[in-house]
Structure 1
């Protein structure tokens, strides 16, 4: 068994409307699914991705309207990367972020790649990362109706960073349980211990976890602009069952197998408290909608369909249809 890379990252927003505007109109991602949190159907769950929502390209958001401010700290997923095709694309993005008065740190370099760290309107910590020299997991494809030129558009998810007080227990789960490989390290700009890099599958931009060790920090207090969990790619349901057996034998409390309709999942927390999901590549977002109309209407899994009227009545209208 081998995890294929990052599947998706799920974060928190306080406003689906403002979130939709930022990630589609400004970042140019496609809303491929407008649905609800299956565990709490009173809130939206929005999925932004490449042209068809390929695994490894999904950045998703739960709308929690009363979510407070995030106080960054330990035991967290402290940034999410978004892939672009080239170094040249980062120069385009630097100008675009300035145009929209978006907070950013300018173009820099990390682990041999050009990067552009920035924050969204709620303080979500994001990094644009260049695939100029990527030789690992292939990127997705930019939607032809994106608000950003195709050669500069976001093509998927790059490395996620964990911030933890102690490296050893998280490293053990990644390497001994999940099969990641330690591939190097790079300086921490905060002057702390070097950030450690782990990869899985074909490796490269779409298959890395970076771990920052900060024992002096307090535990993060999540809110709007924080990350809820990261998911890693599993080939199919049969392999997910094997992962469930392995996680259970490790005596890691877990969710058991969960049908998320667009993929099957397994959730567990590693010892530093970070929520990890393993998710299958299929069946995909075109299960209940045609590809050309993804994200235009509220999609519900079959087990919630009989509650559609009640669910829609409790959601604020969110116009997402593209002419």
Structure 2
């Protein structure tokens, strides 16, 4: 029962049209599912991913009318994406300069050449040079195929004390600690390359983060569909408070909080986003799970246009 790396990361935006423009036109990701928050149908849930919506490639957003986040600990602090190589990083460095995207210098972090940047709401992101795994490009992306984002990379979270978090990561989730850099601990999952690395920074001096636009809501880890019940049993047998089974239609989920309060999700690698839409038409219309379909007219009336 090894995690297959990250499945997705869900963040918060207060500007769905601006968010759609940045992630599709600036970053060149594909909107593979336009749906709503199943627990709050007044809010979009937008999924951006590679050309075929592969698990492990998507960043998703809830659209809520909130103020900006207050940064701090007990939170996910940066989301990594993979690009093919250092030449691609230089392409993105130039692209960000031309488009006025806030960015930092390319540096080495945990052995990865890394370009940190932010979106228009202060969502902290990074690109790392890592060509592991398959690449599924999107033909309609404004970014050349060889430089397109390949999927998620290392994701960083901040805690004031790592001791109990470490026990959950290693004993419950079967991650392997592989070293540290600059006060950050690196944990490896059963996935090739950077999509299998969780970075945990320890800083007891920071205040507790408060969610808002630019914040991360939760972090999802990729599990095989066939192991879903086994993971539910594992959480229960280890007495970890959790959501119990949740069927999101495109994948099944289990939610729990690690000891410092960061919300984790275990999400299955199937059925996938093409369950109710053809691959060619992913994300082009509002997609609703069957249990919300009867409320389509009411839900659509409450959503802003992208």
With normalisation by structure 1, the TM-score equals: 0.93
CA distance in 2, matches of 1:315, 1:123: 24
Say what the alpha-carbon RMSD is for the aligned residues: 1.0
Cα offset, 1:139, TM superposition: 4.4
Q: Report the equivalent of 2:50.
A: 50
Deviation string, structure 1 residues 167-219 (Cα, Å, up to 9, x no partner):
111111000000000111112xxxxxx21100111342011100100101110
Matches within 5 A, 1:238-249: 238-249=226-237
Deviation string, structure 1 residues 131-158 (Cα, Å, up to 9, x no partner):
05x4xxx244221111100111101000
CA distance in 2, matches of 1:111, 1:101: 27
Q: Report the equivalent of 2:66.
A: 67
Contact 2:3 2:191 in 1 (8 A): no
The answer to whether residue 150 in structure 2 is matched with residue 162 in structure 1 is no
Cα offset, 1:242, TM superposition: 1.1
Q: Report the equivalent of 1:127.
A: 126
Q: Report the equivalent of 1:287.
A: 275
Matches within 5 A, 1:169-188: 169-187=164-182
CA distance in 1, matches of 2:74, 2:134: 28
CA distance in 2, matches of 1:311, 1:202: 38
Q: Report the equivalent of 1:32.
A: 32
Q: Report the equivalent of 2:8.
A: 8
Matches within 5 A, 1:49-128: 49-64=49-64, 66-128=65-127
Contact 1:5 1:208 in 2 (8 A): yes
Cα offset, 1:2, TM superposition: 1.2
CA distance in 2, matches of 1:121, 1:151: 25
Structure 2 unaligned segments of length 5 or more: list them.
Answer: none
CA distance in 2, matches of 1:296, 1:76: 32
Q: What is the count of residue pairs matched by the alignment?
A: 306
The alignment partner of 1:307 has SS state of: helix
The alignment partner of 1:183 has SS state of: strand
Contact 1:170 1:271 in 2 (8 A): yes
Contact 2:44 2:63 in 1 (8 A): yes
CA distance in 2, matches of 1:284, 1:144: 20
Contact 1:258 1:265 in 2 (8 A): yes
Deviation string, structure 1 residues 294-323 (Cα, Å, up to 9, x no partner):
0000000000000000000011122xxxxx
Q: Report the equivalent of 1:205.
A: 194
Q: Report the equivalent of 1:191.
A: none
The alignment partner of 2:10 has SS state of: strand
Contact 1:139 1:206 in 2 (8 A): no
The alignment partner of 1:82 has SS state of: strand
CA distance in 2, matches of 1:241, 1:219: 34
With normalisation by structure 2, the TM-score equals: 0.98
CA distance in 1, matches of 2:96, 2:211: 25
Q: Report the equivalent of 2:211.
A: 222
Contact 1:84 1:154 in 2 (8 A): yes
CA distance in 2, matches of 1:112, 1:233: 23
The alignment partner of 1:151 has SS state of: helix
